[in-house]
Amino acid sequence: MNRIKPDSQLKAVTDFLAQLRKHIGLSFGAEKRYLVESRLSPLAQKAGFTNVHDLLIQLNTSVVGELHWQCFETMTTQETQFFRDGFFFETLRKEILPALIQKRQGEKKLKIWSAAVSTGQEAYSLAIFLEEQFPELKSWKIQILATDVSDKALQVAQRGEYEIQDLERGLSPAQITRFFTKGPVDFQIAPWLREAIQFQKINLISAWPAESSWDLILMRNVLIYFDQSTKNKVLEKVSQALAADEGTLVLGSSETLIDFPKLVRRSAARGFFYQRQSVEA
Ligand SMILES: C[S@@+](CC[C@H](N)C(=O)[O-])C[C@H]1O[C@@H](n2cnc3c(N)ncnc32)[C@H](O)[C@@H]1O
């Protein structure tokens, strides 16, 4: 039997993880190496490799192409849900949006970017939330951009089709009835809500949208997968892309920024809302 030597196995995994970090920023410590085997195993089988090791050897010795991207995508964590983290929406309702609405009364425009939207629940929750909680924004121009590096996740997001279990994780029966239609298999988001959102593939460690002055950037539960230097590069771009006046970055509820002085915590909100450091400070 063709037994793989442990050091050859370790090298293959280490080289693959270096590629993963280089191309999409994900950084796996030694304690997470086992995820390479468990996550790539179905893909290795499907692509006709005898085992994950052979797949890794192929990836590590060839030019980055479709198979690499499929593997990178498979290594991402896409966990999400409708109205994830009630405190976030509560703070948005009580503090962040009222302040933004006051500042933008003149132009009546808001620009929101959900920067790692996964399968779409975050962006749809936001659109539902604005519809329900801020009816006065109906006459405003609201831009919601929803992006992710994963094609597969974006396809789900764009279709807006979910199983009932997905909807029940976060939405009330009244919201399901109002904002979804029952299709032959799944539930589908109402077309007018889907049309309110632009979907686009964006890798946070590559080129960003040319536009800037975002009023809200949601970058929740993604920076945790990057190492500090990648995180700082992304945050540097965030600090330039946020609107100088009240623009707010939102992280996941267990995330905080340390040692990044260009972004400061919003005073009244708990840890994970940040804005640009003012020029005078
Ligand atoms: C855990 S989900 C977070 C989804 C949502 N923001 C939330 O908090 O519920 C992380 C998402 O980040 C995406 N992601 C990982 N690396 C990325 C990168 N370099 N650029 C853009 N998105 C990335 C993954 O594809 C995945 O959909």
Q: Tokens 């270096």 appear where?
A: 18
Residue 205 DSSP one-character state: T
236-262 pLDDT, tens digit per residue, is 999 999 999 999 999 998 898 888 999
Ligand 1 geometric centre to CA of 222 (Å): 5
Residue 4 has a pLDDT of: 73
Q: Can you list the residues of the chain whose pLDDT is less than 70?
A: 1-3, 267-271, 279-281
H helices, E strands: number in the chain: 12, 10
Ligand 1 geometric centre to CA of 84 (Å): 14
Ligand 1 geometric centre to CA of 218 (Å): 11
With the most atoms of ligand 1 within 8 angstroms of its CB, the residue from 75, 84, 148, 223 to mutate is: 148
Q: What is the dihedral of CA 106, 275, 194, 117, to 10 degrees?
A: 170
Residue 161 DSSP one-character state: E
Which positions ≥6 away from 3 have C-beta within 8 Å? Answer: none
Distance in angstroms (rounded) separating the CA atoms of residues 183 and 187? 5
With the most atoms of ligand 1 within 8 angstroms of its CB, the residue from 76, 85, 234 to mutate is: 76
Residue 146's CB: how many other CB atoms inside 10 A? Answer: 26
Residue 5 has a pLDDT of: 77
- Any idea what the Cα angle at residue 18 is, between residues 13 and 19, rounded to 5°? 100
Query: Is the CATH code 1.10.1060 the one for domain 6-74?
Result: no
Residue 279 has a pLDDT of: 55
Ligand 1 geometric centre to CA of 225 (Å): 9
CATH 3.40.50.150 domain locations along the chain: 86-276
181-194 pLDDT, tens digit per residue, is 998 889 999 999 99
Domain 86-276's class? alpha beta
CATH 1.10.155 domain locations along the chain: 6-74
Shortest-distance Cα residue to atom 25 of ligand 1: 150
Q: What does the block give as tokens for 77?
A: 């964590």
Residue 281 has a pLDDT of: 46
Distance in angstroms (rounded) separating the CA atoms of residues 251 and 217? 9
- Amino acid at site 120: G
Shortest-distance Cα residue to atom 27 of ligand 1: 118
Residue 50 DSSP one-character state: S
Query: Quick one: which H or E segment has residue 52?
Result: helix 52-60
Residue 269 has a pLDDT of: 59
The ligand 1 site (C-beta within 6 Å) comprises: 24-26, 76-80, 84, 116, 118, 122, 148-150, 153, 203-205, 220-222, 252
Residue 185 has a pLDDT of: 83
Distance in angstroms (rounded) separating the CA atoms of residues 167 and 165? 5
Distance in angstroms (rounded) separating the CA atoms of residues 277 and 239? 9
Contact between 189 and 199 under an 8 Å Cβ cutoff? The reply is no
